[in-house]
Structure 1
Amino acid sequence: MTAVVECPTCSAKVEWTEKNKYRPFCSERCKQIDLGAWAEEKYTIPAAPPVDPNDEE
């Protein structure tokens, strides 16, 4: 049985096979849209500022 996933960009159903060279995306276009979003820093990973052990509380 072949796994089916949703394209992260457009939510189209995509078979996870070696034939799909764009997986997990459905197409080159969706892959490029996602790459552009990363380049424009639309995706972020939340983080706390580092704690300096030399700082007094």
Structure 2
Amino acid sequence: MTRAAPSCPICGQPVNQTFRPFCSRRCADVDLGRWFSEDYRVPTAEPAPPTEQEN
């Protein structure tokens, strides 16, 4: 059984082991920029704020 070569999640090009899981420094920087601009978010279950009746 052969494995398919992994592809860059940003552009789809073959992965370069130096920048894994990306193909280049550019794609790694694009991904980092998306985290900084909050394009990616980790879902959380935040509790609702307390109401005055609960105090």
Q: What TM-score range do you get, normalising by the shorter chain?
A: 0.5 to 0.7
Q: Structure 2: any 5+ residue segments left out of the alignment?
A: 49-53
Deviations 1:2-57 (A, max 9, x none): 86211011111226xxxx21111000100000000001111011111147xxxx6x
Q: Structure 1: any 5+ residue segments left out of the alignment?
A: none
Query: What TM-score, normalized by structure 2, do the two folds share?
Result: 0.68
Give the aligned length. 48
CA RMSD across the alignment: 2.3
Query: What TM-score, normalized by structure 1, do the two folds share?
Result: 0.66
The higher-RCO structure (CA 8 Å, 6+ apart) is 1
Name the counterpart of 2:51: none
Query: Quick one: percent identity of the two aligned structures?
Result: 46
Structure with greater proportional helix content: 2
